[in-house]
Structure 1
Amino acid sequence: MSKVVLITGGSSGIGKSIGEYLTDNGFIVYGTSRQPENYPNSKFPILQLDVKNVSTIKSTVDTIIEKEGHLDVVVNNAGAGITGAIEEIPEAEIKANFETNFFGPINVIKQVLPQMRKQQSGLIINITSIAGYMGLPYRGIYSASKGALELVTEAFRMELKAFNIKMTNIAPGDFATNIAAGRYHAPLLENSPYKKPYGDTLNLMNSHVNSGSDPQMMAKAVLKVINTKNPKIHYKVGEFLQKFSVVLKRILPDVVYEKMLMNHYKL
Structure 2
Amino acid sequence: MQQVVLITGASSGIGKSIGEYLATQNYKVYGTSRNPKHERLNGIHFLTLDVTKTESVNSAVNQLIEIEGRIDFLINNAGAGITGPMEEIPEDEQKKVFETNYFGPLRVINAVLPYMRTQKSGFIINITSIAGYMGLPFRGFYSASKGALELSTEAYRMELKAFGIKMTNVAPGDFATNIAAGRYHAPIQDHSPYKEVYEESLKLMDEHVDEGKDPNLMAKSVFAIMQNSNPKIHYKVGDFTQKISVFLKHILPDKVFERLLLKHYKL
CA deviations on 1:183-210 (whole Å, 9 max, x unpaired) are: 0000000111000110111000000001
Report the counterpart of residue 172 of structure 2 in structure 1: 172
Identity among equivalent pairs (%): 64
CA deviations on 1:58-116 (whole Å, 9 max, x unpaired) are: 11111111111110000000000000001000010000000000000000000000000
Rounded Cα–Cα distance in structure 2 between residues aligned with 1:259 and 1:44: 44
Report the counterpart of residue 241 of structure 1 in structure 2: 241
Q: After TM superposition, give the deviation of residue 39 of structure 1 in Å.
A: 7.4
Report the counterpart of residue 70 of structure 2 in structure 1: 70
Q: After TM superposition, give the deviation of residue 2 of structure 1 in Å.
A: 1.1
Rounded Cα–Cα distance in structure 2 between residues aligned with 1:68 and 1:47: 13
- What is the one-letter code of the residue matched to 1:259? R
- What is the one-letter code of the residue matched to 1:263? K
Q: After TM superposition, give the deviation of residue 37 of structure 1 in Å.
A: 2.3
Report the counterpart of residue 129 of structure 2 in structure 1: 129
Where 1:176 maps in the other structure, the secondary structure is: coil
Report the counterpart of residue 205 of structure 2 in structure 1: 205
**Can you give the 5+ residue segments of structure 2 that lack an aligned partner in the other structure?**
none
Report the counterpart of residue 141 of structure 1 in structure 2: 141
Rounded Cα–Cα distance in structure 1 between residues aligned with 2:53 and 2:148: 20
Report the counterpart of residue 98 of structure 1 in structure 2: 98
Q: After TM superposition, give the deviation of residue 43 of structure 1 in Å.
A: 3.0
RMSD: 0.9
Report the counterpart of residue 61 of structure 1 in structure 2: 61
**Can you give the 5+ residue segments of structure 1 that lack an aligned partner in the other structure?**
none
Rounded Cα–Cα distance in structure 2 between residues aligned with 1:193 and 1:100: 29
Where 1:37 maps in the other structure, the secondary structure is: coil
Aligned residues: 267
Report the counterpart of residue 257 of structure 1 in structure 2: 257
- Normalised by the size of structure 2, how large is the TM-score? 0.98
Report the counterpart of residue 154 of structure 1 in structure 2: 154
Report the counterpart of residue 21 of structure 2 in structure 1: 21
Where 1:235 maps in the other structure, the secondary structure is: strand
- What is the one-letter code of the residue matched to 1:114? P
- What is the one-letter code of the residue matched to 2:163? F
Residue range with higher mean Cα deviation, 62-71 or 249-258: 62-71
Report the counterpart of residue 221 of structure 1 in structure 2: 221
- What is the one-letter code of the residue matched to 1:143? S
- What is the one-letter code of the residue matched to 1:165? I
Query: Per the alignment, do residues 38 and 72 of structure 1 end up closer, same or farther by CA in structure 2, a change over 3 Å counting?
Result: closer
- Normalised by the size of structure 1, how large is the TM-score? 0.98
Contact 1:128 1:172 in 2 (8 A): yes
- What is the one-letter code of the residue matched to 1:249? K
Query: Per the alignment, do residues 62 and 39 of structure 1 end up closer, same or farther by CA in structure 2, a change over 3 Å counting?
Result: closer
- What is the one-letter code of the residue matched to 1:189? Q
Report the counterpart of residue 30 of structure 1 in structure 2: 30
Report the counterpart of residue 108 of structure 2 in structure 1: 108
Query: Per the alignment, do residues 210 and 34 of structure 1 end up closer, same or farther by CA in structure 2, a change over 3 Å counting?
Result: same
